[in-house]
């Protein structure tokens, strides 16, 4: 098990983030291209948001812990992602969108964004959204754990996000002090835990927030709460394909990146 300490970066128009994947320490955990934890008590850290920008060749997953983000895109979609809501966006052949955080009346704006790679045969697929409200995410309670099942399955309960190529598992776990959480990692899948509150034992190793833990292939995961703790468990099927990156574009070759930039220049990016 490898422990990754997040690094602070600023993205968009100046949003302060803690980044764990897409850093010099962990560039890529196939199929996961990026993992960010955003949130602050200071609105100056996030209100500038993410003005209109493009994506191609990837999926972006936004999961909110608190506050709201208003979004709209080049296809005419618009809406608001609120507390415990999830947006799973497949950019496919190309989309222009913006995400603008809103100052909450109380508490702080906080959440996560994950980028998931698409296989070569789906990189130019039609863009689409799966937007899931908090009330539609099932919760399983067992052995001092409360597990929100966003994607994949836990204790026979399946999450509402479906038809994703990477066959992902995405769980948000609250574990009380003295509680226990157990789960098998699908053999062949890459997986990580992101501990964002508290401390405990993860497969026998003592860890405390905030950190990302890269798990081994086919691990049997056991987490014991030393104190109340909260973490995400994310896993997915690796693509084992070459990647070419340029900002919000992730393709398989540099030529495809050049095509994306040329499409953007000519105004033919959105198909």
- Tally of structural domains, the chain: 2
CA–CA distance, 170 with 74 (Å, rounded to integer): 28
Tell whether 260 is covered by a domain: no
126 shares a domain with 36: yes
pLDDT value of residue 248: 94
pLDDT value of residue 230: 98
- Of 136, 152, 168, which closes a domain? 136
Tell whether 245 is covered by a domain: no
| Residue of 40, 30, 36 whose CA lies nearest to 4 | 36
Expressed as residue numbers, the domain containing 119 is 1-136
Tell whether 256 is covered by a domain: no
- How does residue 19 score in pLDDT terms, banded at 50, 70 and 90? very high
170 shares a domain with 47: no
CA–CA distance, 14 with 43 (Å, rounded to integer): 11
- Return the SS3 of 155: coil
How confident is the model over 75-99, as pLDDT tens digits? Answer: 888 899 999 999 999 999 999 999 9
Q: Look up residue 73 and give its two tokens.
A: 């895109």
pTM: 0.95
Tell whether 158 is covered by a domain: yes
23 shares a domain with 103: yes
87-108 exposure pattern, b = at least 16 Cβ within 10 A, e = fewer: bbbbbbbbbbbbbbbbeeeeeb
- Of 111, 136, 161, which closes a domain? 136
pLDDT value of residue 1: 86
111 shares a domain with 37: yes
Tell whether 125 is covered by a domain: yes
Q: Look up residue 25 and give its two tokens.
A: 């320490």
- Of 118, 136, 154, which closes a domain? 136
Tell whether 132 is covered by a domain: yes
155 shares a domain with 67: no
Contact between 60 and 71 (Cβ < 8 Å): no
97 shares a domain with 177: no
Helix intervals (H) in 75-159:
none
130 shares a domain with 60: yes
Q: What is the mean pLDDT of the chain?
A: 94
Tell whether 191 is covered by a domain: yes
132 shares a domain with 6: yes
Contact between 225 and 177 (Cβ < 8 Å): yes
118 shares a domain with 59: yes
Tell whether 271 is covered by a domain: no
121 shares a domain with 31: yes
CA–CA distance, 187 with 183 (Å, rounded to integer): 12
How confident is the model over 210-265, as pLDDT tens digits? Answer: 999 999 877 789 999 999 999 999 999 999 999 999 999 999 999 999 999 999 99
Contact between 213 and 2 (Cβ < 8 Å): yes
Q: Can you give the CATH number for the domain in which 220 is found?
A: 2.60.120.10
214 shares a domain with 154: yes
How confident is the model over 132-174, as pLDDT tens digits? Answer: 999 999 999 999 999 999 999 999 999 999 989 999 999 999 9
132 shares a domain with 212: no
């Amino acid at each position: 098990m490898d422990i990754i300490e997040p690094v602070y970066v600023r993205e968009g128009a100046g949003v302060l983030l803690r980044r764990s994947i897409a850093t010099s320490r962990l560039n890529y955990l196939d199929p996961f291209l990026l993992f960010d934890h955003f949130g602050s008590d200071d609105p100056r850290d996030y209100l500038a948001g993410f003005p209109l920008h493009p994506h191609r060749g990837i999926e972006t997953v936004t999961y909110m812990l608190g506050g709201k983000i208003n979004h709209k895109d080049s296809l005419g979609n618009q809406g608001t992602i609120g507390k415990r809501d999830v947006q799973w966006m497949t950019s496919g052949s190309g989309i222009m969108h913006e995400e603008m955080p809103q100052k909450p009346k109380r508490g702080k704006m906080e959440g996560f964004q994950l980028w998931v790679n698409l296989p070569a045969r789906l990189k130019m697929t039609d863009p689409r959204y799966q937007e899931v409200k908090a009330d539609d995410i099932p919760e399983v309670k067992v052995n001092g754990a409360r597990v929100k099942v966003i994607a994949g399955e836990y204790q026979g309960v399946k999450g509402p996000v479906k038809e994703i190529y990477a066959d992902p598992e995405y769980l948000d776990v609250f574990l009380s002090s003295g509680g226990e959480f157990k789960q098998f990692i699908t053999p062949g899948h890459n997986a990580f835990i992101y501990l964002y509150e508290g401390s405990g034992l993860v497969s026998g190793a003592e860890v405390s927030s905030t950190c990302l833990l890269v798990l081994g292939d086919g691990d049997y995961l056991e987490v014991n709460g030393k104190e109340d703790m909260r973490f995400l468990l994310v896993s997915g099927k690796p693509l084992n394909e070459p990647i070419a990156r340029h900002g919000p574009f992730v393709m398989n070759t540099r030529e495809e990146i050049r095509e994306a930039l040329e499409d953007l220049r000519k105004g033919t990016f959105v198909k």
